[in-house]
Structure 1
Amino acid sequence: MARIVKYVKRTKAKGRYYYYFDTGQDDDNGKRIWKRLPDPADRIFSATYAALLGHRSRRVNAAQQLSVAKLIELYQASAEFEKKKAASTQRLYRLYQGELVDKLGTAPAQLVERKDIVLLLDQMADKPGAANMVKRAGSAAYTWARNRGHVSNDPFFEIEEMETGEHDPWPDQALSQCLESDDDFVRLSVHLLYYTAQRIGDVAALTWRDVHDDHINLTQQKTGKELDIPIHAELREELARHPRTLATIIPGKPTEGKKNKIRLAIQAACAPVKVVPHGLRKNAVNTLLEAGCSAAETASISGQSLQMVEHYAKLRSQKKLSQAAMLKWERTKR
């Protein structure tokens, strides 16, 4: 046994020795897979060991030739990606897997370690949301690759996501400033985000064919929920300022690629106040609730669950709520 030690461990139980071969592969829980070997005195020991060693060597050699970039390419061409992932998820994964390729693309996929991913994500600490998406998108690709036998390692194992905090609603001044902006792109984008209470991806995908006489029809990309949203008078007036085309209401491809035109334009218009487009969803929910709408009525516009409406409403204005309540009280006869 002294001459055969590579990838073999010996354990003792009930006075007997047992031998196991390290396959170099991990199971779905990230635990190393060991194959039981015959006793070294058994005549089939050498043949069994040689076969296992050969399988491991061939697998490692093949895996080391597979770069991270090639692994991502194979995953994005797979049925798992093309058929089982929603179009919105595919767009996000392509974007954030691109970050992984930019940083580690030429590295052998099999040799990437957990510490490599931790370092990459720590370097993105100023963008925790993006770092979390790189982790999710990269982990999905590696999970697929392990299931296909392309690699055996899991460099994303037990890496916790970063705290992103809450997206705050916009200050009233910033909202008013953008709703009245001289920049047509900013004004139109903010009107659509605020008066529909939808996510930026859903707003960017809206076409003029989705606009009907008194409502906007859309299907949320994340939930698949179909909504008919009545058109607010202020939004109707804004839409009338723009020519109807066969393209999206917000021109161009404002959220595709690494430069999100809507986000950048809005942030520039609100500077030095820091805002994100998703904050307008909270503004809309809070405004509806402060106007006296029930959680169910509010959810019918935003498309959220009742629980999420209440979660979003945590920062609603006590002052505005109390004023609305007092007006209702004053209208109530004694």
Structure 2
Amino acid sequence: MQHNLKYIKRVRTKGKEYLYFDTGALKDGKPVYKRLPDPKSRDFGGVYSALLGHRNRRAGIKKQISVKDLISLYEKSPEYRGLAKNSQRLYTHHLAKVEHEMGSAPAAKVESRDVAMMMAKLGDKPATANLVLATVGALYSWARDATRQFVPKGCNPTADVKQMEVGEHQPWPDHVLQAALESETDRVRLATHLLYYTAQRIGDVVNMRWSDIRDGVLHIRQQKTGKDLRIHIHSKLAAELAKHPKRALTILTTNEGHSIGPQPIRIALKKHGAAFGIDLVPHGLRKNAVIALLEAGCSVAETASVSGQSFAMVEYYAKLRDQGKLSAGAVLKWERNAS
């Protein structure tokens, strides 16, 4: 009778036949089999029925799994928990948008046009739309993995969906930067000092700890690049740091003295910019810092040693230097060196 049973694999060795059940699961891309008892034993029927039921339940789950279910599974996975804390926060924030838009939809039925529609609704926020696209891509890449197969191998709803054009973030105007460095709001003033005088991204700045500063040198590992940097503390940053008590492990904190994420800092800086009629983003200060280093006469290599950027990126930022300042400096050198 066992000849008519489904998902059975027969293996003959040393003149004896053994039966294995195909569980329907994969490990490292290969089918997972379970050894069955001898067909003549009283245990055979019960074991086979249990394995068949488990396989059918798994198949049913795969067919019915929703986008909301998929997000929940992903956020519990080792892959997600292995992300940097700031990346986790970012993914969670954008996955919530995805769940709001299509949480009840069968995950395997989501198409490129569904993702394109979601991005279109965020058309006034192109940077956010692009982050949502990247987040959906990461979610489905994880779900397609051969060890999971929560969605079919060819299920990629981000395929052929183009990123939106995003205007380049500009450096802060000098008067707005100076006002932030002198702000009466502690959060604005301290965040601006850290962003400007270290030339780092906001994700790295909110993670900076007091213990990272040793003998006047800031030791950090950039989240995005993995680069280890040693940045000598600028005297003006040192003076600002001296004004703040060490209330937590991190330098930037909430009002209650706890570690803080990037979003409250962004909000505080945007509020500062709004007073000048300007929409500010923290990344603009990275450009201010690179430009200031270059205008101070630092080489591309010296500048890159602080910002952690490639030489090509530093040279790209160099194009944003004030032409008037460069011209004045050039003529001054010309006059000084003229025979």
Instruction: State the TM bucket, normalised to the shorter chain.
Output: 0.7 to 0.9
TM-score (norm 2): 0.75
Q: Distance in 2 between matches of 1:136 and 1:183?
A: 35
Moved more, 186-195 or 228-237: 228-237
The one-character-per-residue Cα deviations of 1:16-67 (angstroms, maximum 9, x if unpaired) are xxxxxxxxxxxxxxxxxxxxxxxxxxxxxxxxxxxxxxxxx99985444211
Q: 1:196 Cα shift?
A: 0.5
* Secondary structure of residue in 2 paired with 1:315: coil
**Runs of 5+ consecutive residues of structure 1 not aligned to the other structure:** 1-56
Match of 2:124 among 123, 126, 139: 126
Partner of 2:182: 180
Partner of 1:254: 260
Q: Distance in 1 between matches of 2:69 and 2:117?
A: 21
Q: Distance in 2 between matches of 1:191 and 1:249?
A: 12
Q: 1:87 Cα shift?
A: 4.6
TM-score (norm 1): 0.76
Q: Distance in 2 between matches of 1:58 and 1:250?
A: 49
* Secondary structure of residue in 1 paired with 2:253: coil
Alpha carbons 2:112, 2:160 under 8 Å: kept: no
Q: 1:332 Cα shift?
A: 3.5
Q: Distance in 1 between matches of 2:168 and 2:283?
A: 10
Partner of 1:269: 272
Q: 1:312 Cα shift?
A: 1.7
Mark the CA change 1:177 to 1:138 in structure 2 (over 3 Å): closer, same or farther.
Answer: same
Q: Distance in 2 between matches of 1:63 and 1:314?
A: 52
Q: Distance in 2 between matches of 1:143 and 1:228?
A: 35
Moved more, 188-197 or 91-100: 91-100
Alpha carbons 1:88, 1:222 under 8 Å: kept: no
Q: Distance in 2 between matches of 1:323 and 1:138?
A: 50
Mark the CA change 1:245 to 1:327 in structure 2 (over 3 Å): closer, same or farther.
Answer: farther
Q: Distance in 1 between matches of 2:58 and 2:209?
A: 50
In the alignment, does 2:209 pair up with 1:203? no
Partner of 1:7: none
Partner of 1:215: 217
Q: 1:280 Cα shift?
A: 0.4
In the alignment, does 2:162 pair up with 1:164? no
Q: Distance in 1 between matches of 2:230 and 2:336?
A: 32
Q: Distance in 1 between matches of 2:217 and 2:335?
A: 33
Q: Distance in 1 between matches of 2:330 and 2:199?
A: 23
Q: Distance in 1 between matches of 2:131 and 2:331?
A: 45
Q: Distance in 2 between matches of 1:86 and 1:276?
A: 22
* Secondary structure of residue in 1 paired with 2:149: coil
Alpha carbons 1:295, 1:310 under 8 Å: kept: yes
**Runs of 5+ consecutive residues of structure 2 not aligned to the other structure:** 1-55
Q: 1:210 Cα shift?
A: 1.3
Alpha carbons 1:64, 1:111 under 8 Å: kept: no
* Secondary structure of residue in 1 paired with 2:278: coil
Alpha carbons 2:86, 2:261 under 8 Å: kept: no
In the alignment, does 2:283 pair up with 1:284? no
Q: 1:194 Cα shift?
A: 0.5
| Number of aligned residue pairs | 274
Partner of 2:150: 150
* Secondary structure of residue in 2 paired with 1:101: helix
Pairs within 5 Å for 1:32-181: 62-83=61-82, 85-147=83-145, 148-152=148-152, 153-181=155-183
Q: Distance in 1 between matches of 2:248 and 2:214?
A: 14
Match of 2:301 among 293, 296, 304: 296
Q: Distance in 1 between matches of 2:57 and 2:240?
A: 64
Q: Distance in 2 between matches of 1:327 and 1:237?
A: 32
Q: 1:207 Cα shift?
A: 1.3
In the alignment, does 2:318 pair up with 1:313? yes
Task: Give every structure 1 segment of 4 or more consecutive aligned residues whose post-TM-superposition deviation is greater than 6 Å.
Answer: 57-60
In the alignment, does 2:231 pair up with 1:229? yes
C-alpha RMSD of the superposition: 2.1
Q: Distance in 2 between matches of 1:122 and 1:327?
A: 52
* Secondary structure of residue in 1 paired with 2:239: helix
The one-character-per-residue Cα deviations of 1:263-308 (angstroms, maximum 9, x if unpaired) are 1111111112111100000011111111111111111111111001
Alpha carbons 1:66, 1:108 under 8 Å: kept: yes
Q: Distance in 2 between matches of 1:177 and 1:157?
A: 45
Alpha carbons 1:112, 1:155 under 8 Å: kept: yes
Letter in 2 for 1:149: Q
Letter in 2 for 1:96: H
